[in-house]
């Protein structure tokens, strides 16, 4: 009886793992099929792939990108059969905007009421949290972010036991161009009302109750839409935006502060 109980405790978790999806398919190009539960069929984007499945790549012109729930991905683009159970050692960790996007798609697949097509730059970070004493409160715009928006919604953490916040925008010389007392943990600013509406700026936020003596300044840059597009085109000029290269392109755009372009790049890849 004890032997039966031990075997049951071991086997049941293994069966449960086999019944849970291990990957979803992000990009599928060419002739790719999956062998699942004794049946074989073509793979479509946003399909769930399980531990005991086998992926078949018919030729070297075909490609599939698989993503797990930890934002790790693997690109298969060589002819052959691949056991899903053997792919773990090939996983690569996504970072930044790509990782956040992958997490959102997992949520959308497992919770259908969520819609990944609404993915945009505001999904890249979370804000509105509560902190008890940190002086680094800023969340959005991200450090070194480049924007085309003339109206920017600045967001930061809430603080316990404070009467409000001192919000400041500085120009490229770090001279104050706006200083306001704010009750909420966000504020909408029309940059066109400032004396210099384009260029480099810095912002910070401080609590009014026991303010911090030293604050980090978060740099951001406002450019025209044409300037922004030229910067994105230049960043992507040497990258082929297919499969694995497309994911790397999004990460490059984010590192250069072009978060909006990175989000659009990922959305275009998802639509292919």
pLDDT of 269 > 50? The answer is: yes
pLDDT of residue 97: 64
Query: Do residues 104 and 119 make contact, with C-beta atoms less than 8 angstroms apart?
Result: yes
Average pLDDT over residues 56-72: 90
Q: Which fold has domain 125-222?
A: Immunoglobulin-like (2.60.40)
pLDDT tens for 185-206 read 888 888 887 766 678 999 988 8
Convert the pLDDT of each residue in 227-262 to its tens digit: 888 888 777 766 655 555 666 677 777 777 777 777
Distance CA 2, CA 147 (A): 65
- Name the residue with higher pLDDT: 117 or 150: 150
pLDDT of residue 31: 92
Residue 13 has pLDDT above 60, yes or no: no
pLDDT(78) > 80: yes
Which residue did the predictor score with more confidence, 153 or 97? 153
Average pLDDT over residues 62-87: 91
Half-sphere exposure of 58 (CA within 13 A, CB side): 10
In degrees and rounded to multiples of 5, residue 254 shows phi and psi of -65, -40
- The closest of 197, 194, 216, 195 to 205, measured between CA atoms, is 216
Q: In whole angstroms, how far apart are CA 250 and each of 57, 97, 99?
A: 26, 7, 10
The mean per-residue pLDDT over the stretch 90-116 comes to 71
Please give the Cα distance from 187 to 138 (Å, whole number). Answer: 12
Q: What is the mean pLDDT of the chain?
A: 76
Provide the strand spans (E) within 37-164.
Answer: 39-42, 48-50, 54-57, 63-67, 72-76, 80-83, 92-93, 130-131, 138-140, 145-147, 151-156, 158-159
Q: What is the DSSP letter of 74?
A: E
pLDDT tops 70 at residue 126:
no
Is residue 113 very low, low, confident or very high in pLDDT (cuts 50, 70, 90)? low
Rounded to an integer, what distance in angstroms lies between the CA atom of residue 19 and that of residue 30?
Answer: 27
Q: Tell me which residue of 219, 218, 170, 216 sits closest to 195, measured CA to CA.
A: 170
| Residue ranges with strand state E in 54-173 | 54-57, 63-67, 72-76, 80-83, 92-93, 130-131, 138-140, 145-147, 151-156, 158-159, 165-170
Between CA 100 and CA 106 the distance in angstroms is 10
Q: Where in the chain is the domain with CATH 2.60.40.10?
A: 125-222
């Amino acid at each position: 009886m004890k032997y039966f109980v031990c075997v049951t405790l071991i086997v049941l978790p293994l069966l449960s793992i086999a019944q849970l999806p291990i990957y979803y398919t992000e990009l599928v190009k060419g002739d790719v099929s999956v062998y699942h539960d004794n049946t074989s069929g073509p793979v479509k984007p946003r399909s769930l792939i399980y531990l005991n499945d086998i992926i078949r790549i018919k030729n070297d012109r075909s490609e599939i990108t698989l993503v797990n729930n930890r934002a790790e991905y693997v690109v298969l683009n060589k002819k052959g059969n691949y056991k899903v159970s053997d792919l773990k050692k090939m996983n690569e960790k996504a970072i930044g905007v790509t990782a956040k996007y992958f997490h959102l798609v997992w949520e959308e697949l497992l919770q259908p009421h969520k819609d990944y097509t609404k993915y945009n730059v505001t999904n890249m970070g979370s804000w509105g949290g509560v902190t008890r004493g940190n002086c680094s409160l800023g969340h959005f715009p991200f450090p070194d972010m480049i924007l085309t928006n003339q109206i920017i919604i600045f967001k930061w953490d809430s603080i316990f036991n404070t009467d409000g916040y001192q919000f400041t925008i500085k120009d490229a010389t770090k001279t104050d161009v706006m200083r306001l007392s704010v009750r909420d943990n966000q504020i909408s600013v029309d940059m066109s009302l400032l004396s210099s509406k384009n260029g480099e700026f810095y912002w910070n936020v401080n609590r009014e109750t026991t303010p911090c003596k030293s604050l980090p300044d978060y740099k951001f840059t406002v450019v025209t839409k044409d300037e922004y597009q030229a910067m994105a085109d230049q960043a992507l000029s040497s990258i082929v935006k297919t499969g694995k290269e497309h994911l790397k392109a999004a990460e490059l755009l984010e590192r250069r502060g072009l978060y909006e372009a990175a989000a659009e790049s990922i959305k275009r890849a998802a639509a292919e």
